[in-house]
Amino acid sequence: MSYLIAAYTIVLASFVGYWFSLRSRRQALLREAEKPQSTGPS
Amino acid sequence: MEAFWIRSARIWGVLALTALAVWLGMVVFYAPVEKVQGVVQKIFYAHVPNSLPAYLGFGLTALGGLLFLITRRESYDRLAQAGAEVGVVFCTLIVVTGPIWAKPVWGHWWVWDLRLTATLVLWFIYLAYLFLRAFAYGSDATKTFASVYGIAGIIAVPFVKFAVELAKGQTMHPDDPAKAGLPAEMQFTLMAGFIAYLLVFAYFLSRRLEIAKLEADLQERLDP
C-alpha cells in the first residue's frame, strides 16, 4: 500500500511542482515585459 | 500554430484537471484489485500512461528541430525546446514510478534489462538536450546543433517501444498492455490515464511555449 501511495504522490506532486514552476517563470516574464523600455542614458 | 497553443492553455488546463479527477476516481473506485499482485498493481495506471506524452514530447523536439533546420523559423526551435522539457517531465515519471512498482513485485528496484536500460538512455539523451539549451543559450549555432541532436535522439524512442520484442523473452518488463488481454475495467482505467496525461501534456506544452515566446520577445526588446 505504501508503494502505491508513494507512486501516486510522486506523480501528482510532480504535476503540481512543474505547474508551479511554469507559473512562476511566466509571471516573472510578464512582470519583466510590463516594465517600461529603457531609452538609454538621458 | 504557436499562437493557437498559447491561446488555448486555459482550456487544456480545465480539461486536464477534469480528466485527472475522473482518472483518479476510476483508479480508486472502478479498477479491480489484481489477484496476484494485489493493490500495488494499481501503480500500473500511474506508470504506463507517462510513455505516450514522453514520446510525443521528444517527437515534437525532433519535428521542431527538423522544421527549424529547413525554415530557420524561431517558433519551430521553441517548439523543439518545449517538447523536450515537457517530455523529460513525463520520462522522469516513468523512470521513478517503474522502480516503485518493481520493488514489491520483482523484489528489486531496478534490473538492467533492455526496456529499462533503453528508457534510462532515452531520459539521459533528452536531459542532455535540456542542459545543452540551458548552458549554451541563444546562438544560431546552438540552435542548429540542438536541432540535429534532437532529431538524432528520437532514434531511441522505437528502440524503447519495441525493447520487449527485441529482447525475445529475455526481459522482466511486461509486454504492451494492449496485448496482455486485460479485463475491460482495467483497460478503461488505463485509457482514462492516457487521456488525462495527454491533456496534462497539452497544458504544460502550451504554457511552456508561452514562456519561450515571452523570453524571445524580451530578448528582442533588450537586444533588437
Confidence of residue A39 (pLDDT cuts 50, 70, 90): low
CB B170 within 8 Å of CB B114:
yes
What distance in Å separates the CA atoms of residue B3 and residue B78, rounded to the nearest whole number?
12
Grid cell of B166 as nine digits? 527485441
How far is CA B20 from its chain centroid? 16
Looking at residue B87, what is its pLDDT? 97
Q: Measuring CA to CA, which residue among B195, B214, B170, B199 is closest to residue B49?
A: B195
Rounded to whole angstroms, what are the CA distances from B192 to B183, B187, B214?
14, 9, 33
The beta-carbon neighbor of B204 closest among A7, A18, A33 is A18
The beta-carbon neighbor of B101 closest among A7, A30, A37 is A7
Rounded to two decimals, the pTM is: 0.91
Spans in chain B with pLDDT lower than 70? 137, 167, 169, 175-180, 224
Q: Do B46 and A25 touch (CB under 8 A)?
A: no
Grid cell of B83 as nine digits? 517538447
Grid cell of A39 as nine digits? 531609452
Looking at residue B7, what is its pLDDT? 84
The ipTM estimated for the assembled molecules is 0.90
Question: Residue with C-alpha cell 501511495?
Answer: A5
> Is B182 in CB contact (< 8 Å) with chain A?
no
Looking at residue A41, what is its pLDDT? 59
DSSP string, B117-148: HHHHHHHHHHHHHHHHHHHS-S-HHHHHHHHH
Residues on chain A touching B95 (C-beta within 8 angstroms): none
Residues on chain B touching A7 (C-beta within 8 angstroms): 43, 46-47, 97, 100-101
Q: Do A3 and B101 touch (CB under 8 A)?
A: yes
**CATH domain B2-222 topology:** Four Helix Bundle (Hemerythrin (Met), subunit A) (1.20.120)
Q: Where along chain A do its domains lie? A: 1-27
Q: Do B214 and A37 touch (CB under 8 A)?
A: no
